Amino acid sequence: MRLLLTYSFSSLSSHIHAWLISSMGDGMAALVAEMVIVGISLIVFLVPLCFFLGYMERKVAAFMQLRLGPNRVGPKGSMQIVADTVKLLFKEGLTPTASDKFLFNLAPVIVVVTSMLVMAPIAFAKDFQIWDLSIGVLYVTSISSIAVIGILMAGWSSYNKYSLLGAMRSGAQIVSYELSIGLSILSVIVLTGSLKMSDIVMSQQNGWWIFKGHLPMWISFVIFVIASTAEINRAPFDLTEAEQELTAGFHTEYSGMKFAMFLLSEYINLFVVSAIAATLFLGGWMPFHIGHWELFNHIMDFIPSSIWFMGKTFFIIFIIMQFRWTFPRLRVDQLLTLEWKYLLPISMVNILLATLIAIMGWHF
Amino acid sequence: MSIYEILFWFLTIMAISSALGVILSRNPITSVLFLIVTFFAISGHYILLNAQFLAIVNIIVYAGAIMVLFLFVIMLMNLNADVEPQKGRLLQLAGVIAGGVLFLVILAALKSATVLPLEKTSSDIGLIKNLGRVLFTQFVLPFEISSVLFLSAMIGAIVIGKKEETKNPLTP
Amino acid sequence: MKAIIATTILGIIMMFAGIMAKEKKPLTTLATILLVILLGVNIWDLTNTSSLAPESLFNNMLRIDRYALWFNTLMTGCTLLYVLLVGREIQKVGEHVAEYFALIFFILCGVYLLSCYNNLLILFIGIEIMSIPQYILAGSDKRNLKSSEASLKYFLMGAFTTGILLMGITLLYGATGSFNIVSFSFLQSDHLNTLALAGILFIMMAFSFKVSAAPMHMWTPDVYDGSPTAFTAYMATIVKAAAFFAFLRLFQVSFGSLSSHWTFVLAIITAATLLVGNLTAVFQQSVKRMLAYSSIAQAGFMLFAILAVNAVAWQGIIIYAVAYSIATIGIFTVLMKLKDYTYDGFNGLAKKEPLLAFVSTIFLFSLAGIPLTAGFMAKYYVLQALIQQGSLLWLVIFGLLMASISVYYYFRVIIAMYFKQGAAELNSPVSGTDKFMLVFTCFLVILLGIFPQLLLGNI
């Protein structure tokens, strides 16, 4: 039992590393093999995750609307999403005649690849991270800003007015809301003094930033959640695919597996954004501690770090899913007003406050 | 060949070929997409030089923001190949000659160039902490004074972008 | 360097004043007051660093010497004169008067950086700070399609040139491993390799664009013609002078010892500039366009100072900058009063507004380089600098020839004013203040023409 709790994933990865080097030699081959292993394990992790998120989305929607939700396939309808995926797999992937075929087929790949790349620096558990690079948080923002290129590509190459409009909206939206995201991330960085994910998590050992950093951190957290909901094009910011106006926005023309890829990336993005929020503000895999309550802290330590991480992440996912059924969709001008006239000035002032706290050492 | 060299040549070929793609492709959208690839390749080079911060900022600013706005504008303008103004033969010839001469000059310069060795001590300069330290000590003036540049650019965006209220809407 | 900080702060004050002010007139008054303050700060700088030894600031990023301080002070003075003369016209351009003035303050920040830079990074940032507000000012008359065209053209060409400048800086860095223009490796001619030479060539091209020298002058007529006249007057004078000062600084201080390598190229550029500027100006129908070409021609003369690489060149460029700026601002002020910018628009101006005709005659005399005006002294000094340099006498003779051609098109305006029949129509009545300022400017032109030592004696 004790072993299970204090078990660190780093020993597992170093075992694999040592084994690969002993069998393949210290060269390219081992590196490539490690990359392949990481890739496969990521996909093995992501596909069930997305199934679960899809199921969760429907169940949360049903819960919010006093319905039952999917309940036919599998126990409590849990196999519904699998059935849907199988259906999508067997559908024909149409490519419109007038479209730019290369870009049309490339777009979903780019969207999925970018959302998968963002997983790299996320600390899933203690010592369990794909790539702990020194600029982890910036890496996340930079790569996630690439996804919009895939969306624009999809919208433009479809040769369809709805698609183009959807893509345009998405472009404006993502480029705008990136600023608020960046600034609210920055306020955490100011306090942490490092961009490295592991450092950020370690800095919250004696308390999560949302508690340690007082009011500015609360503001940052709220802004981050709002802005990232917009960044991943979820309701109430889903103008990109506003059904009533644009059919399905940028992926109107997509079908079959290509459509499924957009769906996949949407859920991965949802997960990633929540994971980042959990890492930055809620302490990542750090257990919940209260001051000097030794016993309480000790009990909390017994819960494995991965469960802490997943719990926090899913808490935020749950909140974001509730947004969808709580707020009506914004108009384009309201969307831009919200960002440029409210969120951006607030986050600018907020970062000054955070800097003040960091300089004066008012955080604990 | 070490991994470093393989990556270097891969990125170099990618950068040059996609840069060529930018100017050779007929479709402006493809051009922009090639440009994005070029930025990625250059960011890769930055990472090879251990300048991770620069690499990521390059992606955020250029590939992520500026190029998206470029794409945006080009897609909305709906440019086609036949709208492009056709240049005269003479002008094309002049362009080729001028470009060729410039190419020769640079080639000659590079051929006989003695390249200064890279300073060994500065190999970690690209890491964000060192970069920040240098920016706020040695290069503090250029760093701070660029704010004037950005401020004037922002004023420009407002001056040019804001709708001017004309007293009589009938007169243009 | 207090002036750099001061101009930035004053620019920001100006910018925020736009929120408070309900009308445009107080903004012009405010800008004038702030410019007086700025001039005061400049003079303070000047008196504080009276020692002859240059002062290095910010880790050797800036190197402040007497020439730079004098240049800054004089250019601030010219800007003040410009605002006093043209302020009313700036109000007419558009709604964002506070922003226009703020941009002028930022341009001054660029001018200050360019006058005392000691590092190629500062050179680059200075040129950008000076250029970007200009692109905006060129396009500030949004209802006018020509203004937008001018802005876009200027911006695209300017951005391209910036690329060339950066390429040059990169090549120089590759060759010398330094951005510092007075560092050891920069000044050593035997250490030189072709990489550095190519870099010098690139930088020379970029500067030639900024000062509108011949092969890179194409943008000048369109931009100067299309921009609102109030801002053309600024672009053609102070900004250009600052670009020249930066040009001189780099090519004298750091490439001076290599002058044998680049003199010939620059001499050809100079000759071409003189030829193109003067000959094309002859054939213009619009006075505004003629002034654009004349500014190219004047650039040819200012290039003499850069070719000369000696101490007289510094004096030459400063007096030329001042003389040319004052006269050009003056003639543009007169031009703005007129409805019709063609030569015919000037017909019979002498009868209707004798004072206006008289002052513009003096300004045109100065531009043509007639003795007893500042323009003569300016031309005298740059020619003297080139003669002292010795090896380019053919260029001196060519320059004199071209100066005589320039008399033709300047005098066409004078002939139109005095000897042609017609009723020159005015845009707006000439007020007493306008008259006073114009006469004062005229007085400055003549004063500088008779006693250049008043200015040069101190430098």
Q: Which residues, numbered 269 to 288 in chain A, qualify as contacts with chain B under a Cβ-Cβ cut-off of 8 Å?
A: none
d(CA A238, CA C143): 37
- Most A-contacting residue of B70, B71, B80, B129 (CB-CB within 10 A), to test interface: B71
pTM of the model: 0.87
Q: Higher pLDDT residue, C316 or B82?
A: C316
pLDDT digits 0-9 by tens, A257-297: 888 888 888 888 889 889 888 888 888 787 777 777 778 77
pLDDT more than 70, % of chain B: 81
pLDDT for B172: 43
pLDDT for B79: 63
Asked whether residue B78 carries a pLDDT value surpassing 70, the answer given is: no
d(CA B48, CA B58): 14
pLDDT digits 0-9 by tens, C189-243: 555 677 888 888 899 999 999 888 888 888 888 899 888 888 999 988 999 999 9
C102: nearest Cα among C27, C42, C152, C44: C27
Beta carbons of C109 and B148 less than 8 Å apart: yes
Beta carbons of A145 and B65 less than 8 Å apart: yes
Rounded to a whole number of angstroms, the distance from the CA of B113 to the nearest CA of chain A is 34
In CATH, what number is assigned to the domain containing residue B16?
1.20.120.1200
pLDDT for B3: 76
Asked whether residue C394 carries a pLDDT value surpassing 80, the answer given is: yes
Beta carbons of A152 and B76 less than 8 Å apart: no
Asked whether residue C371 carries a pLDDT value surpassing 70, the answer given is: yes
pLDDT for B171: 46
Q: Say if CB A172 and CB A237 are below 8 A apart.
A: no
Q: Measure CB to CB from residue C197 to each of B109, B149, B159 and give the nearest one.
A: B109
Span C307-318, average pLDDT: 86
B69 and B144, same domain (yes or no) = no
Asked whether residue B13 carries a pLDDT value surpassing 90, the answer given is: yes
The label of the residue with tokens 């190219």 reads C296
Which residue blocks in A118-242 are alpha helix, DSSP H? Answer: 136-144, 147-157, 161-192, 197-202, 209-212, 214-231
Whether a cis peptide bond, with omega within 30° of 0, leads into C215 is no
Highest mean pLDDT among A40-49, A64-73, A119-128, C28-37: C28-37
Q: Which residues, numbered 233 to 292 in chain C, qualify as contacts with chain B under a Cβ-Cβ cut-off of 8 Å?
A: none
Q: Higher pLDDT residue, C4 or A284?
A: C4
Asked whether residue B5 carries a pLDDT value surpassing 90, the answer given is: no
Q: Say if CB C235 and CB C151 are below 8 A apart.
A: no
Asked whether residue C125 carries a pLDDT value surpassing 90, the answer given is: yes
What does the mean pLDDT of chain C come to?
Answer: 87
d(CA C309, CA A161): 63
Beta carbons of A178 and B65 less than 8 Å apart: yes
- Under the banding of pLDDT at 50, 70 and 90, the label for residue C269 is very high
Q: Say if CB C392 and CB C332 are below 8 A apart.
A: no
Beta carbons of B33 and A149 less than 8 Å apart: yes
C31: nearest Cα among C64, C93, C76: C76
A76-80, B80-84, C103-107 — which is least confidently predicted?
B80-84
Rounded to a whole number of angstroms, the distance from the CA of B2 to the nearest CA of chain C is 26
B147 and B72, same domain (yes or no) = no
> Is C174 within 8 Å of chain B by CB?
yes
Domain hosting B145: range is 127-162
pLDDT for A217: 86
d(CA C385, CA A250): 67
Q: Say if CB C306 and CB C313 are below 8 A apart.
A: yes
**B-contacting chains (≥3 CB pairs under 8 Å):** A, C
A90 burial (CB, 10 Å; 0-12 / 13-18 / 19+) is: exposed
- Under the banding of pLDDT at 50, 70 and 90, the label for residue A1 is very low
Rounded to a whole number of angstroms, the distance from the CA of A56 to the nearest CA of chain B is 31
pLDDT digits 0-9 by tens, B17-49: 999 998 888 778 888 888 988 998 998 888 888
> Is B135 within 8 Å of chain A by CB?
no
Beta carbons of A142 and B33 less than 8 Å apart: no
pLDDT for C424: 76
Span C99-113, average pLDDT: 91
pLDDT digits 0-9 by tens, C375-387: 888 888 888 888 8
pLDDT for C128: 92
Rounded to a whole number of angstroms, the distance from the CA of A188 to the nearest CA of chain B is 16
Q: Say if CB A325 and CB A157 are below 8 A apart.
A: no
CA A138 to chain centre: 14
A135-144, A149-158, A289-298 — which is least confidently predicted?
A289-298
What does the mean pLDDT of chain A come to?
Answer: 82
Q: Say if CB C274 and CB C300 are below 8 A apart.
A: yes
Q: Higher pLDDT residue, A2 or B34?
A: B34
A294 burial (CB, 10 Å; 0-12 / 13-18 / 19+) is: exposed
Asked whether residue C164 carries a pLDDT value surpassing 60, the answer given is: yes
- Most B-contacting residue of C15, C59, C116, C195 (CB-CB within 10 A), to test interface: C195
Domain range list for chain C = 2-456
Rounded to a whole number of angstroms, the distance from the CA of A168 to the nearest CA of chain B is 7
Span A335-346, average pLDDT: 88
Span C41-70, average pLDDT: 80
- Most A-contacting residue of B25, B42, B62, B68 (CB-CB within 10 A), to test interface: B68
> Is C414 within 8 Å of chain B by CB?
no
> Is C8 within 8 Å of chain B by CB?
yes
- For C28, other C-beta atoms within 10 Å of its C-beta total 22
pLDDT for A125: 76
Going by beta carbons, is chain B in contact with chain A, meaning 3 or more pairs sit under 8 Å apart? yes
d(CA C220, CA C284): 14
Q: Measure CB to CB from residue A152 to each of B3, B65, B75 and give the nearest one.
A: B75
Asked whether residue C363 carries a pLDDT value surpassing 50, the answer given is: yes
Q: Measure CB to CB from residue B29 to each of A28, A156, A171 and give the nearest one.
A: A156
Span A83-99, average pLDDT: 82
pLDDT digits 0-9 by tens, C239-259: 999 999 999 988 888 888 788
pLDDT for A165: 83
Rounded to a whole number of angstroms, the distance from the CA of C58 to the nearest CA of chain B is 6
Beta carbons of B56 and A174 less than 8 Å apart: no
A8-22, A134-148, C54-68, C130-144 — which is least confidently predicted?
A8-22
Span C2-18, average pLDDT: 90
pLDDT for A18: 80
Question: Chain C residues with CB inside 8 Å of B166's CB?
Answer: 143
Output the 3-class SS for A258-280.
Answer: HHHHHHHHHHHHHHHHHHHHHHH
**Which residue in C has a C-alpha nearest to residue B155's C-alpha?**
C99
Asked whether residue A57 carries a pLDDT value surpassing 90, the answer given is: no
Highest mean pLDDT among A118-127, B66-75, C297-306: C297-306
pLDDT digits 0-9 by tens, A217-262: 888 899 999 998 888 888 788 777 767 777 777 777 787 888 888 8
- Under the banding of pLDDT at 50, 70 and 90, the label for residue B123 is low
Element (DSSP H or E) covering residue C145: helix C145-176
Question: Chain B residues with CB inside 8 Å of C172's CB?
Answer: none
Span A123-138, average pLDDT: 79
The label of the residue with tokens 């201080």 reads C253
Q: Say if CB C75 and CB C238 are below 8 A apart.
A: yes
- Under the banding of pLDDT at 50, 70 and 90, the label for residue C133 is very high
Chain A to chain B Cβ contacts (< 8 Å):
69
Span A344-350, average pLDDT: 91
Question: Chain C residues with CB inside 8 Å of B164's CB?
Answer: 94-95, 142-143
A208-212, A308-312, B109-113, C236-240 — which is least confidently predicted?
B109-113
Into how many domains does chain B fold?
2
Q: Higher pLDDT residue, B78 or C367?
A: C367
Rounded to a whole number of angstroms, the distance from the CA of B56 to the nearest CA of chain A is 6
Q: What is the ipTM of this complex?
A: 0.85
Q: Say if CB C361 and CB C377 are below 8 A apart.
A: no
Secondary structure letter of residue C239 according to DSSP: I
Q: Measure CB to CB from residue A171 to each of B52, B57, B72 and give the nearest one.
A: B72
Question: Chain C residues with CB inside 8 Å of B162's CB?
Answer: 95-96
B10 and B66, same domain (yes or no) = yes
Beta carbons of C174 and B172 less than 8 Å apart: no
